[in-house]
Amino acid sequence: MVISSGEAAATKPRGESKVNSVDRALVILEYLGTQTKEVGVRELGQAIGLSKSSVHRILQTLRARGFVKWNPDNARYSLGIKAFEVGCGILRSMEAHTVAKPVLEQLAVALGETVFLGVQDDTELVYIEKVDGRRPVKMYADIGTRRPMHSTGIGKALFAHLDRAEIDRIIASKPLARYTKNTIADPEALRQELEKVRRQGYAEDNEETEEGLYCVGAPLFNYSGRPVAAISVAVPKFGQQQLPRDRVIKHVVAAAQEISAKLGYSGRSKNAALA
């Protein structure tokens, strides 16, 4: 069923029925997820525009289920372990993660650099796994972090293998943010870059997200030829990094192909299969 053409018109007038209090609870969870420190009821209410009592009542509910932790010493709230437990459930149902992890670990050892696994979420990308390399410094990104699709190795690797319509949608969704002087912030240039990435089968991020950081990303395909995730290796440009590009690229592409094969990918794309 491909009704992508009229979906905007068809889905829009449809009842946007939602439950107010549930929505508020989710906003609270989101907010707590961004905070590294415990927060108070009032502060929380002010941050998200709700009355103290409403926030308090919802927090009690979240607490009763373990999604929120309450510190009896200062009566402040923070995210509970249950939130983590539930969120991790997604990894168990994601075959790509299970299959990819051991390969990522080999890759990290072979190259000695930090390796990432990421998936697309709407118009952005979320890192879902990270294996550190031998380098002491390694705070480029963390599991659960969100990044744009156009500036990272993983992002571009995924981006390039989407349908034309999907690419258009993402590019149109918001202006391409610029992070460094190398960031590709022009839509037309990005399209050309994606075309190149698609042809060569891997993506390079040459200080496009962060100064001094070079990344190589490659997509993972499942049995149906859909790009379900992507991996990347981050190589700092500081110091004397002897790793030649070719070597990094070769390893990343090989690892990606190994994972794709384990996911049942036979080399044919989704588009070809549907045509």
Partner DNA sequence: GCCAAGCGTTTCGCAGACAGGAACCGGCCA
Partner DNA sequence: TGGCCGGTTCCTGTCTGCGAAACGCTTGGC
Region 151-170 residues binding DNA, contact defined as CB under 7 A: none
Region of 264 please: left (phi>0), alpha (psi -120 to 50) or beta: left
The rounded distance, in Å, linking the Cα atoms of 14 and 208 is 40
Check the CA dihedral 196-198-199-205 and report its sign: positive
Region 89-108 residues binding a copy of itself, contact defined as CB under 8 A: 89-93, 101-102, 105
Stretch that binds DNA, among 55-63, 84-92, 113-121, 217-225 (CB under 7 A): 55-63
- Spell out the residues 6+ positions from residue 31 whose beta carbon is closer than 8 angstroms to its own: 39, 44, 47, 48
C-alpha 163: how far from its chain's center? 19
Region 57-96 residues binding DNA, contact defined as CB under 7 A: 57-59, 70, 75-76
- Spell out the residues 6+ positions from residue 180 whose beta carbon is closer than 8 angstroms to its own: 207, 208, 209, 210, 211
41 touching a copy of itself, by CB under 8 A: no
Of 4, 30, 52, 142, the residue at the interface with DNA (CB under 7 A) is: 52
71 touching a copy of itself, by CB under 8 A: no
8 touching DNA, by CB under 7 A: no
**DSSP assignment, residue 37?**
S
Of 33, 212, 264, 267, the residue at the interface with a copy of itself (CB under 8 A) is: 33
Nearer to DNA, 72 or 175 (CB): 72
43 touching DNA, by CB under 7 A: yes
Nearer to DNA, 57 or 270 (CB): 57
The rounded distance, in Å, linking the Cα atoms of 195 and 153 is 14
**127 contacts 140 by C-beta, under 8 angstroms:** no
Phi, psi (5° rounding) for residue 219? Answer: -80, 155
60 touching a copy of itself, by CB under 8 A: yes
Stretch that binds DNA, among 7-15, 158-166, 204-212, 220-228 (CB under 7 A): 7-15
How near is the Cβ of 191 to a copy of itself at its closest, in Å?
26
Nearer to DNA, 42 or 247 (CB): 42
- In the structure encoding, which two tokens stand for residue 60, read together? 């009690």
5 touching a copy of itself, by CB under 8 A: no
Measured CA angle at 133 (ends 127, 134), to 5 deg: 155
Phi, psi (5° rounding) for residue 17? Answer: -60, 125
**83 contacts 144 by C-beta, under 8 angstroms:** no
How near is the Cβ of 64 to DNA at its closest, in Å?
12
20 touching DNA, by CB under 7 A: yes
Nearer to DNA, 22 or 109 (CB): 22
Nearer to a copy of itself, 90 or 177 (CB): 90
Residues in contact with DNA by CB under 7 A are 1, 13-15, 17-22, 24, 39-43, 50-54, 56-59, 70, 75-76
